[in-house]
A and B are shown apart, each in its own frame.
Chain A
Amino acid sequence: MTFLSNQYRPSNILGAKPQHLSERSLWKRFHIDPFLLTALLILTGMGLAILYSASNGNKDLVMQQIIRLGLAYVVMIIVAQISPDKFKLWVPWVFIAGVLLLIAVFVAGDIGKGARRWLDLGFIRFQPSEIMKLAIPIFLAWYLQERSLPPTYRHLMACALIIAIPVGLTAIEPDLGTAIMLACAGACVLFLSGIGWRLIIVLFALAAAATPLLWYKMHDYQRQRVLTFLNPESDPLGAGYHIIQSKIAIGSGGIFGKGWLQGTQSHLNFLPEHATDFIFGVCGEEFGLVGGTILISAFMLIVGRGLYISMQAQDTFTRLVAGGLSMAFFFSMFINIGMVTGILPVVGVPLPLVSYGGTSMVTLMASFGIIMSIHTHRKLLA
């Protein structure tokens, strides 16, 4: 508050609120939310330290992650400059383009690790399902803000379609993890829009009833994952291996952990996928309960700030977008850590902002850009 708190400074380039050129308003001029930015920096910083250990001190790999993160932060800042009105304007087209790209993947996508997820546009290779992580909640919010809340059943049917089409296309790639995350993001927006409790119960009942059908539709490896979740010890060297080893990693970490770079489970390769989906195992092993709690708390800070922003938002659209994206971010963390600690089945979901990998990071940071934009583009009426 000291270096910029000169209340008597006369000038103001933008010509708005000359009498309060505070620290806060400088941030606001660049449409950055300092609280959210700090929380993100803490989380990604911890993530890099964990990744450095998880990759056995591979500096090149960490450097790549840093470059991606830098890029993602730039994307976030750029997105934050865009007014929510523009999102409202663009989102129907982005959504339609996203669905078309998903269909394109189905027809002509690249196959990686046995699933058709990637689209190669010559200059860039990406997963269209990532676009949908943003497009679904925003498009839903756009759709719902036009109608009065709570939505009617007719509108809910439309919402169901908006969710089901991209989720279905992603699920048949097959990419169960992302499909679940997409459905989850959609569901969060619907929940916040105030759909009736009765409907929520009915939907859960329907989901339970659909489980056998889902089982029938699943690929063998997906079925195996569910079976493994139910009883990992049944096949300790086969499918249950991931879960057992990650539980050993976390459990052997104890309260304070084995120390940075001292984890035997990851460094001796007992913990599979320890730089990507199972990176929380490395955190649990090396930093223990304390480190794990701090990491999860960093997530909670981000989620909390996002929800606070949604509370402060001025219209239904921005409220639903900020709230939906924040909740979806929480669930992607919860599903990943739940899977690594063995309370949820293994689905291929990375730990957001911590796991090694690029595509989801840009999308995530873009969503924080949107949230920042919502907060910093508020009209000063009330």
Chain B
Amino acid sequence: MPDLIEAFHTALRLIATLDPGLIEIVVLSLQVSLLAVILASLIGFPLGGALAVYRFPGRGAVTAILNALMGLPPVVAGLAIYLLLSNAGPLGVLQLLYTPTAMIAAQMLLVVPIVGALTRQYCEDLLEEYDEQLRSLGASPREVTATLLWDGRYRLLTAVLAGFGRAIAEVGAVMIVGGNIDHVTRTMTTAIALETSKGNIALALALGLVLLATAFAVNGALMGVRRFALRLAYA
């Protein structure tokens, strides 16, 4: 027990003194997850919007797959990207395995279904309300999609935050394709896993606290966005 208390004190000191080793890991984690979420949103928004508006054969199947992939286990996403990027894989020549780029790709694979499926759901709800009015105004399917995405902007922002919450907290995908290499691909989650098994509880605890604070911040932002949107009747 005294060990634990001491570890806790060390953890707080690491955070309070902005320990360079800690900061490096935190910054890399945020960079990887933020980029992954931004890129995933660029794919997920139009994908979800189009799925809500366009009617084509196989639409139901695509929607079902997208919904199912929301629960894709991070290790499976990591494995898929690993196979793609490994020397024997189709993209092996790029030599991207064990780089932050590979980690971004793996987290994108996790986040695209989340952003895409939530976007589709939001847009479909909105379309129910707007359909006749937009058709009366003569909007083309592309214009309808664009209108829905813009009008759903606050709800889409909550989808992005949900995706970020998922990306920043996952460990399996970045562990497999990143390899937890010190100064290169070590993120908060992989470092916690490693340092805990090494017995370096203080650093693990410090990173855990930062991760927890991130989760709180994301949730706070979610609630803030919702409240703001409700006040404008934009929800």
Specify whether A and B are partners. Answer: no
> Chain B: residues with CB nearer than 8 A to chain A?
none
> Chain A: residues with CB nearer than 8 A to chain B?
none
